[in-house]
Amino acid sequence: MQVELIIIGDELLIGQVVDTNSNWMCSHLNAIGIQVKQISTISDREEDITAALTLASTRADIILMTGGLGPTKDDVTKPTLAKYFNSELIYDEGVLKHVEQIFAKYEKPMPSENLKQAEVLKIAEVMFNKAGTAPGMWIKHNQIYFAVMPGVPSEMKYLMEHEVLPRLKNLNGRKKIIHKNILTSGLGESFLAERIYDIEERLPKYIKLAYLPSFAQVRLRLSAEGDNEDMLRKEVDGFAEEIKSSLINFYVNDTQQTLEETLLAEMEKYKLTLATAESCTGGYVSHLITQIPGSSRVFLGGIVSYSNDVKVSSIDVRQKTLDDFGAVSEQTAIEMALGVKRKIGSNYSVAITGIAGPDGGSLEKPVGTVWVAIAGINKTKSYNFLFGTRRNDNIIRASNNALNLLLRLVREENMHL
């Protein structure tokens, strides 16, 4: 069952609006065993809509369209569809009454342009839109199913949930789709691929492995498609366990949680607390942690010790250490971690100091140099990184690596309990 999305809107093509509809539609279609094979984003022009429909009809069994159903002159989807399907536009009395009621509710006169909202293709089955004024349309033409919906996200979602997805579930030809996600951290994409090469080579054709890299993290996704859901799930779970065993030092979770969610969950499980001392990351680690509801059960607080004076006065970094080794050094990172742990009274702490850039580097310590120190119950560990020259990237990379290293030490010191 081949599915294609056609997303209409000049505002998308000029970057004025971000297309969130495609992401939402793909995830909900996938959940019912339908995979999208193509997404086309096109302008609000008759010739572009016609061309997209013509091409999509050669390769798709189901075509879902959003956008261009408003009452203004720049919304040309409905008249274009009337020409394409050789059908006339007619007024739907139920839709017209609904539009009139909306304006009456707010005690406003209905502009004549809004009469167009009640227009639907004669060949279409009307999909009533309780979330807005523009109706959706369901069309079967030459054995292809078309769903035409507004581009407003809330209205599209309403029609998908109440009209489109129920219809699609009743169509024949859907296969079972199983996904398994494994989040890793601390090892690059190519190194991961090398480690699990033998496992990937043994995957049957109906199971695929995708690599989804981000800063200091790679999410691996196993996807299987077939008719026997139980068999697919068993096979995917088996391969996932093999992958996890091969990447034990870099494995974060297989729950679709974020790295920071996993860290907080495990620290809470062992009744542990955390403090942070940040220099070059400017509080970004604390930001990631405190975005999570319930983080206060683990996170006690953090100190952004950006200047050397604050390092000395607030977290007990020795002036001699700064004079002898500099702010960006292993020695300073360790003293920051131990100092903030002692000051705040946590079980664990993480400290980061570095040169985020784009300037401030030297031959000895170039831009992108970062030291991370983790202080735990029994151990204190330090790590050196050399990232690139892009400031924001360096901040994110340093923070994610620090969280990963903290998670490793928490597991090392507590998993036997």
3-state SS class at 226: strand
Task: Find the length of the chain.
Answer: 417
Q: CB of 306 within 8 A of CB of 282? A: yes
| Interacting residues of 171 by C-beta distance below 8 A, sequence separation 6+ | 1, 62, 145
Q: What percentage of the chain reaches a pLDDT higher than 90?
A: 85
Q: Mind listing the pLDDT tens digit for each residue in 187-230?
A: 999 999 999 999 999 999 999 999 999 999 999 999 999 999 99
The C-alpha atoms of residue 163 and residue 168 are separated, in whole angstroms, by 9
Which helix (H) or strand (E) element contains residue 167?
helix 165-169
| Interacting residues of 44 by C-beta distance below 8 A, sequence separation 6+ | 8, 9, 10, 67, 68, 74, 75, 76, 77
More confident residue, 165 or 106: 165
The C-alpha atoms of residue 219 and residue 311 are separated, in whole angstroms, by 36
| Interacting residues of 239 by C-beta distance below 8 A, sequence separation 6+ | 199, 202, 203, 207, 222
The C-alpha atoms of residue 120 and residue 127 are separated, in whole angstroms, by 10
The amino acid at residue 21 is: N
Q: Mind listing the pLDDT tens digit for each residue in 114-149?
A: 677 888 999 999 999 989 888 999 999 999 999 999
CA-based nearest residue to 178, from 119, 247, 228? 228
Q: Mind listing the pLDDT tens digit for each residue in 9-65?
A: 999 999 999 999 999 999 999 988 898 999 999 999 999 999 999 999 999 999 999
Domains and their CATH numbers in the chain: 3-169 (3.40.980.10), 176-253 (3.30.70.2860), 259-414 (3.90.950.20)
CA-based nearest residue to 157, from 139, 179, 138, 130? 130
The C-alpha atoms of residue 43 and residue 76 are separated, in whole angstroms, by 10
pTM of the model: 0.80
